[in-house]
């Protein structure tokens, strides 16, 4: 007759009898016990039974006591690194796209293709930039509006506003000082004229004809393309009676400090927000988004207004579209680089600039990765 050990369960608080039963006998070669459900703890626990170990010694274990299974340490397996995993990195793909665009642009330039071919090659890159311009500004508006609304709901406007103002002021001062220092260091490398050029100075120009000669006039007043070199008869003075160049927004004029402050204030307080969206004035959009988000919370009686819910959903949509568009950035970089190099006459100089840009980017990324690895280790 096989002896079946009896298991008795007691309440741990008062020692009252809870349950009892019999378990099947366990051979000496089995593990230290089988797991039995304990109604007190609500867990499957290992019951200790009297048995013989493989070494021949009798294990003195209370056959009626439940022993909780000790937690097994988590086994950490090394990550399975795929081969050429670095090729999946977005930065690596963009660098490869730039190199491919450089090679393709050099081939197109050596083949002396027409301008139409260069325009077609450059078309995917332009479409990529237009998609980003189309969705970035609306995403900035929705993101800032919802963020400001959440800050107002939490009641941390003063703390966050003070920190933001300090960070903005510090970064602006640092950027201005850095740009001023770099310009002073590189001042001697760029030729410049000393003093101030008067606005009333005359502008002269010459006209080169299709036959290779310069446009000139003789003593009778006849105009011909017969001059082989530039002289007094091929020199014409530019006269601007309506002062169109001084009134043109694209003309470069000396800007004073007051003019700069006025322009910044005009951008901070836009007169037409739709015009700011059209002209991609990020400062105007930022100011409007902050005011709009704060006002949207104050005009709603609930913490989650329908307007803010719509803005949050729009922000998710814009972010989704931009994320999918960025996946095509290697192709866009290749298109832009190849299209710009296909019509270059000084191909060697342009290729050198692109190569230096790629090299600097790779070195900067390598330094950043080295710093991150050292910081985490």
pLDDT given for residue 245 in this prediction: 59
For residues 94-111, b (16+ Cβ closer than 10 Å) or e, as one string? bbebbbbbbebbbebbee
Q: Tell me the residue length of the chain.
A: 377
Backbone angles phi, psi at 202, to 5 degrees: -80, 150
Residues (pLDDT < 50) of the chain are 26-33, 48-68, 77, 80, 193, 195-198, 248-252
CA dist., res. 102 & res. 90, Å (int): 18
Asked if 332 and 129 count as a contact pair (C-beta separation under 8 A), the reply is yes
pTM of the model: 0.53
CA dist., res. 297 & res. 146, Å (int): 9
pLDDT digits (tens, 9 = 90+) for 352-371: 777 777 777 767 766 666 66
Residues 314-321: contacts with CB under 8 Å, at least 24 apart: 314/138, 314/142, 315/139, 315/142, 315/143, 315/146, 318/135, 318/138, 318/139, 318/142, 319/139, 321/131, 321/135
Asked if 293 and 89 count as a contact pair (C-beta separation under 8 A), the reply is no
Task: Round to the nearest angstrom and report the end-to-end CA distance of the chain.
Answer: 64
pLDDT given for residue 61 in this prediction: 45
pLDDT given for residue 248 in this prediction: 47
CA torsion sign for 310, 311, 314, 316 is negative
Distance, CA of 334 to chain centre? 19
pLDDT given for residue 30 in this prediction: 43
pLDDT given for residue 21 in this prediction: 60
pLDDT digits (tens, 9 = 90+) for 326-339: 889 889 988 988 88
| Most distant pair of Cα atoms in the chain: their distance | 141
Closest Cα to residue 40, out of 6, 14, 69, 11? 11
Q: What angle do CA 106, 98, 101 make, to 5 degrees?
A: 30
CA dist., res. 172 & res. 116, Å (int): 43
User: Which residue ranges form the domains of the chain, and what is each CATH number?
Assistant: 6-67 (no CATH), 85-155+277-377 (1.10.3860.10), 204-237 (no CATH)
pLDDT given for residue 316 in this prediction: 92
39: CB partners within 8 A, 6+ apart: 9, 18, 19
Q: Where are the beta strands (DSSP E) in the chain?
A: 6-10, 17-22, 35-38, 43-47, 51-52, 58-59, 66-67, 203-205, 214-217, 223-227, 236-238
Q: Which two tokens stand for residue 99?
A: 């190199």
pLDDT given for residue 57 in this prediction: 42
For residue 42, with 0-12 CB atoms within 10 Å meaning exposed, 13-18 middle and 19 or more buried, which class applies? exposed
pLDDT given for residue 70 in this prediction: 57
Q: What is the DSSP letter of 208?
A: B
Q: What is the DSSP string of 285-296?
A: HHHHHHHHHHHH
pLDDT given for residue 142 in this prediction: 92
């Amino acid at each position: 007759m096989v002896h079946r050990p009896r298991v008795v369960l007691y309440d741990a608080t008062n020692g009252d009898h809870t349950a009892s039963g019999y378990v099947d006998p366990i051979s000496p070669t089995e593990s230290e016990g089988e797991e039995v459900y304990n109604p007190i703890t609500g867990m499957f626990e290992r019951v200790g039974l009297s048995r013989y170990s493989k070494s021949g010694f009798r294990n003195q274990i209370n056959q009626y006591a439940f022993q909780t299974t000790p937690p097994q340490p988590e086994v950490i397996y090394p990550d399975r690194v795929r081969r050429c995993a670095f090729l999946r990195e977005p930065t690596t793909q963009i660098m490869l796209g730039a190199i491919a665009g450089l090679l393709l642009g050099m081939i197109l330039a050596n083949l002396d293709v027409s301008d139409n071919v260069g325009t077609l090659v450059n078309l995917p890159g332009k479409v990529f930039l237009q998609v980003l311009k189309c969705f970035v500004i609306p995403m900035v508006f929705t993101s800032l509006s919802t963020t400001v609304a959440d800050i107002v709901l939490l009641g941390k406007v003063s703390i966050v506003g003070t920190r933001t103002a300090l960070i903005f002021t510090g970064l602006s001062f640092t950027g201005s000082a850095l740009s001023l220092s770099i310009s002073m260091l590189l001042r001697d490398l760029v030729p410049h004229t000393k003093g101030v050029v008067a606005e009333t100075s005359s502008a002269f120009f010459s006209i080169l004809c299709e036959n290779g000669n310069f446009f000139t006039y003789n003593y009778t007043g006849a105009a011909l393309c017969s001059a082989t070199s530039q002289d007094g008869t091929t020199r014409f003075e530019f006269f601007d009676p309506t002062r169109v160049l001084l009134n043109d927004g694209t003309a470069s004029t000396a800007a004073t400090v007051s003019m700069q402050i006025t322009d910044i204030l005009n951008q901070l307080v836009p007169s037409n927000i739709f015009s700011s969206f059209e002209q991609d004035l990020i400062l105007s959009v930022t100011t409007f988004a902050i005011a709009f988000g704060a006002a949207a919370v104050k005009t709603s009686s609930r913490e989650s207004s329908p307007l803010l819910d719509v803005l949050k959903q729009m922000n998710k949509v814009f972010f989704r579209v931009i994320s999918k568009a960025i996946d095509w950035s290697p192709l866009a970089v290749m298109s832009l680089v190849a299209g710009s190099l296909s019509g270059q006459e000084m191909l060697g100089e342009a290729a050198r600039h692109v190569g230096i840009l790629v090299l600097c980017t790779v070195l900067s990324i390598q330094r950043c990765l080295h710093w991150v690895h050292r910081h985490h280790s």
